[in-house]
Amino acid sequence: MQIQGITAFVTGGASGLGAATARKLVERGAHVAIYDLPRSKGAELAKELGDAALFVPGDVTDESQVAAALDEAIGAFGPLRALVNCAGIGSAARTVGKDAAPFPLDVFVRTIQVNLIGTFNVIRLAAARMVGNEPLRDGERGAIVNTASIAAFDGQIGQAAYSASKGGVVGLTLPVARDLARHGIRVCTIAPGLFRTPLLMGLPEPALEALGKSIPFPSRLGDPAEYAALAAHILENPMLNGEVIRLDGALRMAPQ
């Protein structure tokens, strides 16, 4: 599909990968609804991006909030053609800690709830609205881009919850693409490596530099704009469907 003139919904759109994607899509002529928590900087980003952007606050795990936000976006900008799911949280704990304490179950549940169930919640509600769109070239009605992580494949010590949540996003990509194929809706997932996002930026600069040097090439942390460029290409390329794409500079993470 052509990005110019479409309506896009970006979850986790107030910062990191989501904010870069919102900027890229507006730059390419789309109207973008930025969906993020009320305490986020979504309103500031929408103001920066001007009339082409709208901030709609909410939680990806809340069905009524997501549905209302999607309808607000459609009411403001027209039929929904694109969804980019960037909302997510991190967690770190060993299955059994050094003090023999088991992994806190509430942390595991919350990570799955936001990263996996939240992603699917938005997919199903957005797709239900896309199916009524007038078909474009090749019968396409919409496209969905999800965010996993290379932790889905190379999970490190302490990443059981995070890796499981992102592995679930990888696992749903093909079956959901097959589910939605008859409606002309494509589904792909990007699995980023180490990027300069809020999940990492709390680390001191020497630690960030060391992480960057662990990447074969280019030997640096990824720029969120590089994620955004791939997300935009997926929206534009009609043959990208049911695929998970690693975006990681050939990084394969060690156990720790």
Gap between the Cα atoms of 34 and 22, Å rounded: 7
Rg, Å, the chain Cα set: 18
Decide if 40 contacts 14 (C-beta within 8 A): yes
Question: If DSSP codes are grouped into helix, strand and coil, which group holds residue 192?
Answer: strand
Of the candidates 35, 77, 162, 227, the residue annotated as catalytic is: 162
User: Is 162 noted as a catalytic residue in this protein?
Assistant: yes
Instruction: Please give the structure tokens belonging to residue 93.
Output: 């704990």
One-character DSSP codes across 30-44: -EEEEEE-TTSSHHH
Alpha helices per DSSP H over the chain: 16-27, 42-49, 63-77, 105-112, 118-130, 151-154, 160-180, 205-213, 224-236
Give the number of other Cβ atoms within 10 Å of residue 87's Cβ. 27
Decide if 127 contacts 170 (C-beta within 8 A): no
CA angle 73, 74, 78 (to 5 degrees): 125
Asked whether the CA dihedral 106, 121, 12, 41 is positive or negative, the reply is negative
Report the run of H or E that residue 214 belongs to, with start and end. none
| Active site members | 162
